[in-house]
Amino acid sequence: MDKDTFGFCFLSAVPMRRQASHTAEMVNQLLFGDTVALCSATPGWLLVRTLADNYEGWVQDKQLLLSDAPVATDCVVPTESAVVCNGMQVTAPAGASCRQAWLVGATPQAPTHDIVATARTFLGAPYLWGGRSKMGIDCSGLAQVVFKICGIALPRDAWQQASAGTPTTLEQSQPGDLAFFSNPQGRIIHVGIVSAPHGTSIIHASGRVREDRLDSNGILDDNNTYTHHLATLRHLLQPANN
C-alpha cells in the first residue's frame, strides 16, 4: 500500500480468510469495532493485520470502512448490544469494541472482572474454527474474548496464549486461570478456562462451549473419557490488592 490505510469493522462479525476467496479457510473473525491495518489488496479483497493482536488474513473489501487513521473506541461491550454506526443499526457481539455514544437505549455497563462468570455466558455456543462470537467460537477465541471483556489482552492462538502470565500447577490453580492441552507431538492445540479451585473443572469450546471435569491427565467428558491431554497451566489475574 502507498500509505498507511486502516479498516474498521462496522458489521457484527466478519470472517478473515487464509486466502482471498469465500471458499478459503476462515482463520479468524473480526468483531464490530476491531481495527486493522491494510497490508495489500486484490480485486474484492484486502489483506489486513489486526492492530490488537497482529493477526493477518483476507477480508472482503465491502465489509470494512477505510480511513487514514485508526477509529477510536472507548469501551468493550460485555453482552450483545445494539449500536448505530455508519448510518445503520447493528448488533455488537459480546467482546466487541465500541464507543459509548454509539450504544442504542442502553446505559454503558461497568467492566466485569469475573472471568468464570463471563465464560459461563458463552456456554452452549457452537464450536466454529476461527470464530469469536456466541454464534460460533473456537477454544482460543473463547479465551481471548472472555479475557478482553474482563480487561485483559490475550494473543489469538492457543500456542501464543500459553506464553502469557506465569506458570502454575493444577493444585494451585485458581478459577480464571488458563489450562493448555497438547497433541502427542507436544504441540499446544487447545485451551480452556479453569472454573473451580484446584483445577477440578474447565470451560472450553469443544463441539460447543461446555464445562467439563479436569484432572492431572486432562479433560473428562460425560462418558468419563479423556478428550484432551493436559500440558500446562498459566495464571494471568493480578492479586486483588495490586
**Alpha carbon 117 to chain centroid distance?**
16
Cell numbers given for 158: 492457543
Pairing of strands 75-76, 97-98: antiparallel
Element (H, E) at 147: helix 139-149
Q: How far apart are CA 55 and CA 58, in angstroms?
A: 10
Task: Give me the residue label for grid cell 471483556.
Answer: 149
Q: How far apart are CA 164 and CA 146, in angstroms?
A: 15
Residue type, 110: A
Task: Give me the residue label for grid cell 468419563.
Answer: 224
Active site residues: 139, 190, 204
DSSP string, 83-97: EEETTEEEEEPTT-E
Q: In which region does residue 41 sit, left (phi positive, over 0), alpha (psi from -120 to 50) or beta (all else)?
A: beta
